[in-house]
Structures are given as C-alpha cells and as structure tokens.
Chain A
C-alpha cells in the first residue's frame, strides 16, 4: 500500500494543543479536585534520622475538632503490604519497608502516624497533638561512611549496609593498566539532588457507589500504579480505576510507589469517603525521592597520544534508607554499563555497590544513572586531556566510537548496544555553532588581563525505551517494555487514540497526534489523544526513560497502520475492486489508472460501522489496538559546549554561551524537542553549579529542607540555550525515534564542569566536585594563591 508523504505532520514545529487550557487556568491537577464529603490526611513525620519509637500517644489528636481517624504504623502493618521495589537487581537484599514506620524510623521525614480530618487545617492541627517518644540512634548519611565497619546498621538483612553488588567486565583492564604509558586516578562525586516538580505529589482516593475505587494521582505510570496499589492494598485490580489528570512535572519522581499512594486508597475504603493527601514543598523535600548521590573512583589507563586503553570504576550509590522502586538499578546497570560513554574503551571493569543510609530514598531523576555514567566517561577523558595538556576536542576525536562502528557494543557488552550515530559529525557541528577556535584564542588572550574564561565540551550517549520485554526479566524488572495504543475511528472518520504513555508536560496530545495524522491522513484536528485513565486506556507502562515517542509513538504508528489496512479492505469491497489495486492518499482511497471516483476515509468509516457492505470475513468496526514491543533500544547522542567566565575574586560563574547539538533520531516536533533540550540542560546546569542536598552528617538532619535552602535556578541564573539537531534515524523502531527527555540533564553537568575547570586552568586546578558554587571555587583559587605566596 502506498501512503503519500504530501501532508506530513512529523517534523513540523506545530504549536501545542494542550496550551490553551493550561494558559487560561483550566488545567486540572490533583490538588484542584474537590469531592463531596472529601476528607484530608496529614502525616506526622520523624524529626530523627534514626531512632527507635518507644511510644505514640494519639489520644489528643483523636479528640481534636474535625478528626475522623488517627493511627500509627502498627494498625496498618497487617492491612497494607510492604512496599516492594519494581526493579531488583538479582542477588539484592531487600529491606522491609512499611507504609508507616512501626518500631523504628530510618530517615528524617519517614511517616510515624497519620490523621484524617474534615479539613486540611484540622488535620495539620491534629498531627501537632500527637506525642511520640523516641530513643535516638546513631545515624549515617554519606555512602563512604555507611560501608565502614563501625557504621550504624540500618537493616538486619542488609549486613554492611550494602544491598547490591554489581560487576561489569569487558576486555582485560589489568593488562591495559600494565601496558599504558600512564595511569591517573580520580574520585568524582555526583551530588544528591531534589527533582523539584513544581507540582508536589497529591492523591485523592474516592470510593464509588458501585463498590469500585477511583484513585486520582499525579502519576507518570498510571497502569503500574493501578497494579501496585491493587497488589499492596489487596483490591481487585479490575475494581480500581487510576486517573492521572494534568501533571505538574515528573522528571522520574512521579513514577514510584510511595506510602501515601497506598494509604489513601486503604483509608478511603475504610472510611467510605474520599480521602485526599497533598504534599507541602518542605514535606516533599523529605518524602519524595531524591536523585543521583554517587561517589565514583576512576582509574584511567592511557597512552601519551591521548588514547584511553582501559578504565576501572568503583561506584558507591547512596539509595537512602529503603529500596525505592528502581533503586538497585540506578547505580548499577544504568550507571556503570554506560561508563565508557561515546569512547572506544575496550578494557573496562566496574564494581558498583548500592548503599543504604539514614536519608530520603533515592531513585530515578531525569536520566537516572546515565548522567552519572556519562559523568564517569567525560571526567575521565577530560582528565586525560588535562594531564597531557592536549586539546579537549582532539582527545575526544581520537577516542570516539566511529560512525562505521554502529551498531556498537562497548567493551564487548551483552547488555549495551548503541544502535546508530555519528559523533564526529556532531562534534563538527557543535564546534562550528560555538565558534571554538575563535573562543579558544579569546580565552588565551583575556587571561593575560586577569579575565578567566573557559570552554567546556561534553559528549554523551545512552539508551532509551528499555525493551524488548523478554530482556527485562533477567535484569530484575517486574514489568514489560511494550506500550499500547488503541486507534478508534468513529463513524464519521474521526480518531480517538488511547495511549498508555503519560505526558507530564512533554506535549503528547500534540506529538502523538502528529504521528497518527501522517498515517491516517486525516486533519490533525480530527484526532484526540486520551491518556491517564485506566478505565479508558486499556493498558500501558507510562512515561520514563525517554520512551514515549520511541515506544508509545511507535505503538500509535503501528496501530494507525492497522486501521488503514482494514479500511482499505473495506474500501476495496465498496469499490468492487481487488484490494491490491487500491491506494490511499490524502484521506481518500483511489484506484490508480481507472476513472473510479475517490472514496473518502470518512465514507469507509461509516461503512465500517453500519456494516451494510463489508467483504466476507470482515468484522464491523474500525478500531485497532496494538501492544508494541520494540526489538531494541535507540541510543541518542550529542555534543554540548559551554563558554563561561569565572570571577576569581568572588568565585561566581557567568555562563556566556551554551550550545547543544543532539542526535535524537527522527524529530517528531522540533519545537517541543528544543523545549526538552532547554529544560534538561538547565536542570543539568543546576546540578553542576547550584543544587545539592545537604545533610548534617552527625545528626542526619536534612539541611536543605525547603526552597529557601535548596538552590533551584531562576531565569537570571541561566543562559540561552542554542539547540540544534542531527537526525540519524534509529533502526530499532518504525518511526526512527531515539528519545530526548534526558539528553540535556546528561550532557550539561560534565560540560559545565569542564568549562569552569578550563577557566581555572591557569591556577592549576584540575578537579572540583559539583556543585561549583562561588564559595567552592573561591576557596579553591584562594588555596592555590596562598600556596603560591608561601
């Protein structure tokens, strides 16, 4: 069948269809929901990082005005199952996590009791009346401290506080180490972050008159939430409806199972009333998952020409007090599997240890492991360039995986395969857009005047849309890698598409419609996208791992094709011609080479539903559902460059320019794609320069407990982002998409660090850990200057 490309929507920078409601205050987020008789839950959280609970006195809270219920963890222990992670690396030791602590708390913010009241104010008033007596225990917050022999132990079944050991080996690192001209060691810290979706978490669980339960939740993964809630609260899954309305950002933090996700559904059934919980921002800092929190030791073996022969990595991943949903996979598979980055490093050895500490659980945050992996590769290549005083661009060129190498398995890996790309071309485009040579010269010239400017470069690749499903079981996943799409044509020829993906701001109502419009060849205005309601959307996995276009978009594409295939059969019957003689173009079926009048798609749709003249064996209806399971994963790549000026007197970094050249495969909508790069890059700049979660290492207190203390950048702190693309279609899916959401937050941290280190090179400073705050930079410069003075 021929399908015309005359009216393509894919590749067009269409404006978003979802904007109008969001711009006029008509977005509907969970906290906007108000149901008759709705009750409000508030949770009392532990003020201690590690303590035994000696007693809890709920009597005053129970007697407070408006209070319907107050309870502690022991009441729920038998009624709501423990929270089980969804990704468990084989061999991991999994501590038991209750929804509310019973006898011991393990981080500041862990729930110890709750109140349900008629108003939110009454619920807050009442939790302040709960008396808890604690026996405070020694706490440990840093990963290096937690693995020491004398460290406080968090869980009986996790000796040494290590839940997971994970190893990767390819080639022969020891031999490379012996044969290399030089070996350099480097310790790098990947600072702990708070994802900071502007909408905090919220949930409303509402019993329905028919005995079912509806749960409204800002979820990136509504169908997975349905299954998890059903299994843990013991509600038959088919009697549970999960609705994810508009979501105010996710970035990974809204794809996990949290205690409140389970408590609200349980209490709604218990009290036979809607129960709402909404998280304050300060509460969010101590109860929603954090990100990153790694330390890695690198050993780099290289020759004097800059070629890296081998790399050895030792990772400590701090996952907080319990194993959150994906926690064992982040510091392991997602990080060290990608430690060689865009470089051909054939001798590679990595050991990752997953460590529990008395801190908020750490889980996926935009990139999850791939930013940490890219940081390993990029800091390694930068260290080689700096050590040999070679140009940072030239050293990258000498080590890049070449375009002719794809598909490429780094270090002979069985788990990692980069499907396609052309890194040299990306680098050339970035150098040109950036004006590298001129700026290099400018930096040198200005240094003579005491002006310290620097150029940073970083390259990255990773993998998106984890699949196929059968590959996920050995890795320890309790989920599949497919996505579903139902393309339902009504009797007028218009389409409603039910997608298992879940937008949190990415613009799927626009981008998925573009994909469908090209296949269905009907006006894009005649296509509606439905997501986020398990009663409407048959099944799905949701949105994470930059998978929505590659997997969700492909499922829409394939499903739309099936609709056209059936419509063509019906059209052939209506036209009384052989099916193989029928063409479909611009919304009409024609029989080329004849004078038979074109038959519109809408007329075929009508026939499908009246069923008056269908070919033998063809059932009525025009409605196709596809569960699309990819054959592999796409590997986006990119080269980013930054230009900075550092004020040596204050340590303040001024970002003068930022260039991003990304290869994310086929672009569905360049406008939305650039938006993803802008946002991701700024989150990456935030990690490099501003943000860091701080704990008091003695008491385990969270010091960055609100947005007053945690440095999310404002408009005046960040630059314009000059984004452009190279399109190497992925051979792993029918639309050639790779994935884009995580690119910026992967590339920007090493890029910014390299720019600042380049600016500081006259001082001989070779390494600093993120975030590169003014005090940290100023102190580094001062210690050099004081050293010089002595």
Chain B
C-alpha cells in the first residue's frame, strides 16, 4: 500500500566511493544500486533469491543484493562488478579467466557469477571440481551449461587463488 512511504538516509562506500542518499525503507539494495546509483552491471534475474544474478560483495562477503534492503547496508563497504575492472579497463583475474575459458555467453548471469567465484576462491583457494560446482550452487547460468565456468575457476585454483 502506498501509505506515506518511510524514507531513511544511508551512506555506503561503493567501489571506493562514498555515497549518501535518501531511500525508501522498502527499497532493495539491488534496486538502489541499479536505479539510484546507475550501477546496472548488477542484474535482477528472479524474484525469489534463486538465481544469484544480483550477487555483490558486502564487507568482503558475496551477498545476493535482492535479499538486503538498502537501509540495511548503511555504513557497509560494497563492491559490484563495476568495481573489479581497473581504471585502465584491465580485467581482474576472475574476469580474465572467464574471457580465456569462454565462461560466458549472454553475459546476464556473469556479474553475479564472477562475484560468487571471487568469494568461493577466497574461502577455498584450491577447490576441487566438486567443490567448485557446489560453491556456485547459488548462481544459475542458462547458456554455458556451467562447463566452461568450472574450467575458468579451475584455472584460477591451479594458479593459487584470486588476485
């Protein structure tokens, strides 16, 4: 119901920049990122927190940003896909591995998948194939059949983790 929408001020450090904004209390973090901050690299692929396309890093941990209200992220340190690429456009190691191993097709699940892979490798720098597949269970990809995503992660595992 559109009863007087309650609003709050939030301050978030996002991709190295401090941002302050007034948000509706009911606004999801993913909508705040996409609509208010214009960070459209984070995608919405479902409405039941199943697909993982909206995965971002909050205080160093991968989180589905559709499961968090923007107000709950007040004071947090957030990294989105846009924050991974260096100033000169250079790809991070996970992004580069995805490119090298053809681990993306339509690219829609990719930002969330990349964020989850970073998290997976942070928690387990040398995962087995089984651990990789299990570790990515929160992210759905419909194009690649996961085969080349697993190859990309394996290549990073053998290189000793994520940079």
Contacts and interface: CB of A to CB of B under 8 A. Distances in A.
B106 A248 contact: yes
Contacts of B109: 198, 248
Interface string B14-27: 00000000001010
Nearest to A682: B145
Given A675-B144, A707-B140, A20 B108 contact: no
A679 interface: yes
Interface stretch (A450-458, A532-540, A693-701, A710-718): A710-718
A505 B81 contact: no
Contact of A721 (B48, B108, B147): B147
Interface in B5-43: 24, 26, 34-35, 38-43
A707 B48 contact: yes
Contacts of B41: 24-27
Given A23-B114, A280-B47, A198 B144 contact: no
Nearest to B105: A505
B153 to A, nearest CB: 10
Contacts of B85: 24-25
B104 A716 contact: no
Contact of B2 (A125, A199, A678, A718): A125
B108 A198 contact: yes
A244 to B, nearest CB: 13
B39 A25 contact: yes
Contacts of A682: 145-147
A715 B132 contact: yes
A623 to B, nearest CB: 31
Contacts of A32: 34, 40
B38 to A, nearest CB: 8
Contact of A681 (B81, B142, B145): B145
Contacts of B1: 125, 128
A744 B26 CA distance: 43
B125 interface: no
B57 to A, nearest CB: 13
B137 interface: yes
A133 interface: no
Interface residues of A, number: 62
A31 B44 contact: yes
Of the listed residues B43, B100, B109, the one surrounded by the most CB atoms of chain A closer than 10 A to its CB is B43
Contacts of A125: 1-2
B140 A714 contact: yes
A685 B53 CA distance: 22
Given A20-B91, A24-B41, A29-B43, A712 B143 contact: no
A399 interface: no
A128 B53 CA distance: 27
Interface string A272-287: 0000000011100000
A735 to B, nearest CB: 21
A683 interface: yes
A45 to B, nearest CB: 14
Contact of B145 (A22, A280, A678): A678
Of the listed residues B45, B99, B136, B147, the one surrounded by the most CB atoms of chain A closer than 10 A to its CB is B147
B118 to A, nearest CB: 13
Given A249-B106, A280-B47, A721-B145, A25 B42 contact: yes
Given A29-B43, A251-B142, A281-B51, A199 B106 contact: yes
A65 B1 CA distance: 10
Interface in A674-691: 674-675, 678-683
B74 interface: no
B63 interface: no
Contacts of B145: 678-683, 718, 721, 744
Contacts of A671: 102
B67 to A, nearest CB: 14
Contacts of B144: 675, 678-679
Given A20-B91, A716-B133, A25 B146 contact: no
Of the listed residues A248, A505, A680, the one surrounded by the most CB atoms of chain B closer than 10 A to its CB is A248
Contact of A712 (B34, B81, B107, B140): B140
B23 to A, nearest CB: 12
B86 to A, nearest CB: 10
B13 to A, nearest CB: 18
A197 B107 contact: no
Contacts of A526: none
A15 interface: yes
B102 A505 contact: no
Contacts of B111: 25
Contact of B105 (A122, A679, A716): A679
B142 A24 contact: no
A613 B128 CA distance: 66
Interface string B70-90: 000000000011101100010
Nearest to A278: B44
B106 to A, nearest CB: 3
Interface string A132-168: 0000000000000000000000000000000000000
B65 interface: no
Given A23-B104, A678-B148, A721-B147, 5 more contacts: A19-B98, A24-B81, A65-B2, A198-B140, A672-B102
Interface of A: 15-16, 18-20, 22-29, 31-32, 34, 64-66, 121-122, 125-126, 128, 196-200, 246-249, 251, 280-282, 504-507, 671-672, 674-675, 678-683, 706-708, 712, 714-716, 718, 720-721, 744
What are the nearest 6 A-B pairs in CB distance?
A25-B41, A505-B106, A22-B107, A248-B108, A682-B145, A25-B81
16 contacts: A23-B95, A25-B81, A34-B35, A64-B2, A66-B2, A198-B106, A199-B45, A248-B107, A249-B108, A280-B47, A281-B45, A678-B146, A706-B46, A715-B146, A716-B133, A716-B134
